[in-house]
Structure 1
Amino acid sequence: MTQRALLLVDIQNDFCAGGALAVAEGDSTVDIANAMVAWCHARAETIVASLDWHPADHGSFASQHHAAPFSQGELDGLPQTFWPDHCVQHSEGAQLHPLLDKTAIAAVFHKGENPLLDSYSAFFDNGHRQKTALDGWLREHGINELVVLGLATDYCVKFTVLDALQLGYQVSVITDGCRGVNLHADDSAQAFMAMAAAGATLYTLADWQETQP
């Protein structure tokens, strides 16, 4: 039997308008997320969320390397984009967007806590050296299918989806519930293609509502 969960990826203040690492139109994901939360809640389906949750001295921050934001370098042997300081633990920027319906969220999973490793995926750090609590929690609750949306398409959503597929989950992505950083103009389009090629099914919210019972 299929047990499904909605996974909201990093819908946090710092990735939305006015945030430290604001994604263009990031706020527009909130209405789509709330529609999916309502859809899942009405069917007693599980809803979980991930949060970027960095210590103030996180090694992915450009400020730690006296580097320009969005420049390229290396962190603990892995290629690294150096980001503006963002989603610092317990800061306002790290909180879920205030308009996101949080009432039905069953559990929240933190990632990016190790200052030596960046963690785009909600399941693993970028080197697959450490695992978050998400996979274990989902398995404990018998969940084997995920519906994913959030921020940002070309980083945390993409790597979360690819890891979920590798771990054996069926994965659907609500495309209009995602927005990308797009350091290159086609990064989000390429990310959606990579997710689909790996086995994810892509839907718009309208498609999902029309085709799912």
Structure 2
Amino acid sequence: MEVLCMKKTALFIIDVQNDFCENGALAVPDGNAVVPVCNRLIQMAAERGCPVLASRDWHPANHCSFKDCGGSWPMHCVAGQDGAEFHPDLQLPVDVMVFNKGTDANAEAYSAFDGTQAAGVLHDAGIERLIICGLATDYCVKASVLDALQAGFDVLVVSDGCRAVNVNPDDGEKAFAEMEAAGATILPLAKVEF
């Protein structure tokens, strides 16, 4: 008997890329720690027959977010370069749906829903609920969660599957609070059910 996902659930992994992990161009503190959590979630999704999606920054070399182009960040996740690749230990399934974001040199795109077809693809597949993890809590995860809620999805954020940049020491905690206030559920991996 096939086990079906609860409420037509999908797992969405946000930006677990080399440049956001240890020794990356824009390394998130303790960013590598999300990889085993993401891998367990991928395994759980597979056991339940739930689809897995992943977003990635896929910037042109002259992206407006880069300091050299007047932005706030060092050059990172340049399309086709090693830093833009998914972390080598991230065990994405062969049928993962990948959404590239930040591909327009003149537009910032923190959310996995900004400039991508993610919402349409998910709605067309009948997905109602998203389980979200990845990097970074206070930027791309938060923006993606808020957009997912706005698009009508139920959202569960896996707290230990995220890490924050924390430009200010409590930015990550503030981001979790903002996501929860907007309607997301925040839970650790141990309490996540597909």
* TM-score calculated relative to the size of structure 1: 0.86
Query: 1:166 offset after TM fit, Å?
Result: 0.6
1:41–1:104 Cα contact (<8 Å) kept: no
d(CA) in 2 for partners of 1:177 and 1:104?
21
Once the two structures are superposed, residues 83-112 of structure 1 have per-residue CA deviations (whole angstroms, 9 ceiling, x without a partner) of: 000000000000000000012552100000
Counting matched residue pairs gives 189
Give the unaligned 5+ runs of structure 2: 1-5
- 2:127 aligned to which of 129, 134, 143: 143
Once the two structures are superposed, residues 89-144 of structure 1 have per-residue CA deviations (whole angstroms, 9 ceiling, x without a partner) of: 000000000000012552100000111111000001xxxxxx31111111121111
d(CA) in 1 for partners of 2:133 and 2:183?
16
- 2:110 aligned to which of 106, 120, 123: 120
Per the alignment, residue 152 of structure 2 pairs with 168
d(CA) in 2 for partners of 1:196 and 1:104?
32
- AA in 1 matched with 2:85: Q
The secondary structure found in structure 2 opposite 1:162 is helix
d(CA) in 1 for partners of 2:69 and 2:158?
35
The secondary structure found in structure 1 opposite 2:31 is coil
**2:2 counterpart of 1:19:** no
**2:77 counterpart of 1:83:** no
d(CA) in 1 for partners of 2:88 and 2:109?
24
Per the alignment, residue 206 of structure 1 pairs with 190
Moved over 3 A (4+): none
After superposition, the CA RMSD in angstroms is 1.2
d(CA) in 1 for partners of 2:46 and 2:7?
16
* TM-score calculated relative to the size of structure 2: 0.94
Give the unaligned 5+ runs of structure 1: 66-80, 125-130
d(CA) in 2 for partners of 1:96 and 1:111?
14
2:52–2:93 Cα contact (<8 Å) kept: no
Per the alignment, residue 3 of structure 2 pairs with none
d(CA) in 1 for partners of 2:135 and 2:95?
17
**2:170 counterpart of 1:192:** no
Per the alignment, residue 72 of structure 1 pairs with none
d(CA) in 2 for partners of 1:104 and 1:4?
18
